[in-house]
Structure 1
Amino acid sequence: MGPLDGLRVLDLSSVLMGPYASQILGDYGAEVIKVEAPAGDLVREIQPSRSAGMGAMFLNSNRSKQSIVLNLKTAEGRDAVLRMVADCDVVLSNVRPRKMDRLGLTWEALSAANPRIIYAALVGFDQQGPYAGRPAYDDLIQGGVCIPHLFERAGQQPAYVPAAICDRIVGMSAVNAILAAVIERGKSGQGQKVEVPMFETMLSMILADHLGGLTFMPPLDHGGYKRHLSPDRKPYETKDGYVCALIYNDGHWERFFRELGRPDMPAADPRYATFAARMEHIDEVYAELGTLMKTRTTAEWLDLFDRADVPALPMHSFESVLEDPHLREVGFFEEVDHPTEGRIRQMAVPTSFSRTPATPERLAPRQGADGAEVLSRMGFTADEITALAQSGALTLPDAQKTEGAE
C-alpha cells in the first residue's frame, strides 16, 4: 500500500510526458486509469517489442496502470469520461487545451462534474503567451531552452541530449504540482486547475545554472556557468576505458594530490590553490587532468579516488550498468513475468518510504485490457458497458465483450 493509496487518477495523456507522470503516481500507490483512444498510445509502437503494441518504451512508462479504450470524439465516450471524473481525484492530460475544448472536456465541464477534481494540464507553453496553441515535443523544447546552445558554447556542434529529458523532467514537475494541489485541497476542500508548461519549466531549470551574469542589470557577462561549459568537462579517458570523477572542493584536491605522491600541490600551483582560482582556470585544470588520466587504468583510478574519498564512477554502457554491484545489491533491476510479454526486466521505484513502500503491482497493460473491470468498479452496469461498446465509444477485448454480453 503505497503512500498515495486511495488517490484515483484519470489519465488522458499519451506519448511520454503525461504517462511518465502518471506512472510515478501509480508507483506511489495511486489508482491510475489510462484512457486510450481507439488507435492506442503511439509509444506502444516504438520498437523493440515482442508483440504489437507492447514496445519496450511503453512497458517502461506505463506500469502501475489499468487501460480502457474510449472514443472521446463520441458523445457517449465524453459522457462516460465525465461520469468517471465524478469519482476521481485527479485528471491528467497532455492534450493541447484547444483539442480538449473541442472534445467538450474543458476545465468548466470537469469541475462541474466534480468540484473537488484536480485537473493537471501538461502543456507546451504558458497559455497566456503567443506560443499557447503550438505543439511541443522534446526536441523543440530542448532547442528553445538553450540545450543545443550549451553544446555550442562548450566548443561542440549544437546537439540534443539523446534522451527525452524534457518529457521526463516536466513529468516529474507535474507530479510535484499535482501533489501540492492535493495537499491544498485537503485544507480548502476545493479542486483546481494546474498548468505545467514544458517550455517555462525546462527553462527555469537550465537557466538556474546558466543565467549567470545576465542575472544582473546591466549584465556582467553573456551567461553560462564556466565549469559546465569547459570543453574538457567530460569522462576522462584512461589507459583502458573511461572514468567519471569530480575533484571539486579543497579537500578533494588535497587528498587527490596526496595519493599521487604530490602533497606539495595544490599550494605549489596557484591555479589549484583555491576554489575561485580553479574556476578561473577551469579549462586548463580539466585539460591537465585529462592528460594525467591517460597514464593509469580505469580500475587504478577508481581505487585511487576511493582512497582519496573523491566522487567517481565508471562510465557505464547500457549493458554494464545492469551489472553494477551497487544496483545489484539494492535490487534496482528485477526480472518479472509479464502476463502477455513473458520475462522482462524492470526498474525499481527509486524512492523509498519507511512505512508505505512503493511497490508496483501492475505491469504495463495491453490496450483496453481493463475496460470492463474499470467501468464496473466505477458504477457502470453490465448493460451500460455493453451499450457503450455497441455505440463504438468503448473498445473491449474479445473476452470482455463476451463477459459484458453475459
Structure 2
Amino acid sequence: MTPLLQGIRVIEVGAVVLGPYAGQILADLGAEVIKVEALEGDIARDAFPRGEGGGALFVNNNRNKRMLAIDLKRPEGRSALGRLIETADVLFHNMRIDAAERLGLGFEAVAAINPRIIHCAAIGFGQRGPYRDRPAFDDIIQAASGVAGLATANGDDPRFVPTILADKVAALHAVYGILAALVSRGQGREGAIKVEVPMFEALAAFLLNEHLSGATFAADGKTGYPRILSPNRRPFQTADGWIAVLPYTDRQWRAFLNEVGRDDVTEQPWFSDPPQRQAHIDELYALVAESLPARTTAAWIEVLEARDVPCSQVNGVDDLLTDPHLAEIGFFDVPQGYPAGMVRNLPQPVLFDTVTPAPDTAPRALGADSRAVLREGGLSDAEIDTLVASGVVRT
C-alpha cells in the first residue's frame, strides 16, 4: 500500500471485478475503502478455485479493504449505511441505476445525505442514450464496442479477447474519474460531484483511439489502423517456438533486413518514406514470417536485442509464473499475514519510490469490520446489536 490518499474514505458497493478492482486500486493508494456486501457476500468469494482466503477472483481484487455486510433491501440497513455515507468522501457502485436507486444509492439520494460526496457509478451504458437500461457483462460490452468484431477484419469469426477487458478498462476510468473529482474538491469546488463511467463508451473510446483512423477527418472515412489490422501482424514461428518481432522505425527495419540478408528491400523507392512503408506493411511482415523459421527463438532474441530491434518470446500465462524479470522484482511475493494457502499475490504495478509504503492487508472475512465501521458512522453499540440480532448486519 502507498499512503497517498490517507484520510479519504471510500464506500465501495461493488461485486465480482469492476467495482472491486477499482476499489482495490484506491485502497492500494492509501484510501480507506469500505467494501459493502450483501449478507451472502460478493459471489466472487466462492468463485473457483477457492483457497483459505476465498476464491482467487476475490483475493486478487479485495486487499487493503474493510468489510461491511449489510442488507440494503431492508430500510434499517439503508438507514445505517446512510449514517456511514455522512462520513464518506466517495461512494462508488457498479450496479444498474434502477437497482442503485431502489437501495438508496442513486446520486440524488446520496447527495442529500452528504452534500460534499463524490458519487461514481460504473454502469453498462451511458444514461443519456437509448441503451441506458440494458444489462451488461464483459462479453456483451466486448461485442457491442467492436472489440469482438475486430477479428473479422482478417476474415476470422468474431471472438472475445480472453480476459475480462471491459470490466478492467471501466474500472481504470472510474479510478481516474474519482481522483480527478477529489483533486477538484481539494481545490475548493463546492457541492456533490456526479461521475458516470459507462463500460460501453469506455471500451468504445479505448478501441477507437487508433481505429477511428480516416473517419476522424471525413464522414465517410475508413476506420481501422492498417498496421494493427494486418493479417500478418501476429506472433511468428521460429525453429522451436514463437516470437514477436516489431521493427518499427527506419533504423530498426534496416537492422532487421540486414540481419536476414535482404538489404535489397531498403533500396526500394518506398522504403524510406514512413507512410509508403506503412502501405507495404503486409509485404514486410510476410518477409519477417519467411525469415524467422531459420533459427531458434533464443537465437533470434540474442541477435535482435544486440541490434536493438524490439522482440520478445511469446509467453503463455504459465510462463509468467517463472518469468525472470517478474521473479527479480518480487512480482508475486505474498505479504506477511496473508492466508497460509496463498503462494502468489498480485501487486499494484504503479510505484512511488519516494513514498514510504505501508503494509498490505489481506482480503478480510465477510462482515469482519461491520461493527467498527458502523460505530465510526455514529451508531451506538446498542443500535448495532439490534441490527445484528434482526439479521440486517452480519459480523
Q: TM-score of the superposition, structure 1-length normalised?
A: 0.92
Per-residue CA deviations over 1:215-255 (Å, capped at 9, x if unaligned) read 2334233x111111111211111111111221111011122
- Are 1:27 and 1:359, in contact at CA under 8 Å, matched by a contact in 2? no
1:166 maps to: 166
- Are 1:38 and 1:395, in contact at CA under 8 Å, matched by a contact in 2? yes
- Are 2:16 and 2:57, in contact at CA under 8 Å, matched by a contact in 1? no
2:67 maps to: 67
Structure 2 portions without partners, runs of 5+? none
Tell me which moved more, 322-331 or 86-95: 322-331
Identity %: 41
1:286 maps to: 285
Q: Distance in 2 between matches of 1:344 and 1:370?
A: 26
- Are 2:125 and 2:131, in contact at CA under 8 Å, matched by a contact in 1? yes
Q: Distance in 2 between matches of 1:300 and 1:22?
A: 44
Per-residue CA deviations over 1:283-338 (Å, capped at 9, x if unaligned) read 22212211211111010111111111112221112221122222222222213455
- Are 1:12 and 1:34, in contact at CA under 8 Å, matched by a contact in 2? yes
- Are 1:71 and 1:394, in contact at CA under 8 Å, matched by a contact in 2? yes
1:401 maps to: none
Tell me which moved more, 113-122 or 378-387: 378-387
- Are 2:337 and 2:361, in contact at CA under 8 Å, matched by a contact in 1? no
Tell me which moved more, 85-94 or 327-336: 327-336
- Are 1:3 and 1:357, in contact at CA under 8 Å, matched by a contact in 2? no
- Are 1:266 and 1:273, in contact at CA under 8 Å, matched by a contact in 2? no
Q: How many residues align?
A: 393
- Alignment of structure 1 residues 137-176 onto 2, 5 Å: 137-176=137-176
Q: Distance in 1 between matches of 2:290 and 2:365?
A: 52
- Are 2:338 and 2:361, in contact at CA under 8 Å, matched by a contact in 1? no
- Alignment of structure 1 residues 7-406 onto 2, 5 Å: 7-51=8-52, 54-186=54-186, 187-221=188-222, 223-262=223-262, 264-270=263-269, 272-336=271-335, 339-340=338-339, 342-357=341-356, 361-396=360-395
1:404 maps to: none
Per-residue CA deviations over 1:342-392 (Å, capped at 9, x if unaligned) read 333112211111332555611122222222232234333322221111122
- Are 1:125 and 1:131, in contact at CA under 8 Å, matched by a contact in 2? yes
Q: Distance in 2 between matches of 1:54 and 1:83?
A: 29
- Note closer, same or farther for the CA distance 1:308–1:137 as it changes in structure 2 (3 Å cut): same
- Are 2:150 and 2:158, in contact at CA under 8 Å, matched by a contact in 1? yes
- Cα offset, 1:271, TM superposition: 5.5
The Cα RMSD (Å) is 1.8
Tell me which moved more, 176-185 or 279-288: 279-288
- Are 2:7 and 2:31, in contact at CA under 8 Å, matched by a contact in 1? yes
Tell me which moved more, 180-189 or 167-176: 180-189
1:96 aligned partner, one-letter code: R
- Cα offset, 1:261, TM superposition: 4.9
Q: Distance in 2 between matches of 1:341 and 1:117?
A: 38
Q: TM-score of the superposition, structure 2-length normalised?
A: 0.94
- Cα offset, 1:201, TM superposition: 1.1
Q: Distance in 1 between matches of 2:364 and 2:269?
A: 60
- Are 2:84 and 2:373, in contact at CA under 8 Å, matched by a contact in 1? no
Structure 1 portions without partners, runs of 5+? 397-406
Q: Distance in 2 between matches of 1:78 and 1:341?
A: 36
Tell me which moved more, 351-360 or 26-35: 351-360
1:248 aligned partner, one-letter code: Y
- Cα offset, 1:268, TM superposition: 2.6
- Note closer, same or farther for the CA distance 1:230–1:185 as it changes in structure 2 (3 Å cut): same
- Cα offset, 1:269, TM superposition: 3.6
- Note closer, same or farther for the CA distance 1:178–1:360 as it changes in structure 2 (3 Å cut): farther
Secondary structure of the residue aligned to 1:183 is: helix
Q: Distance in 2 between matches of 1:218 and 1:96?
A: 34
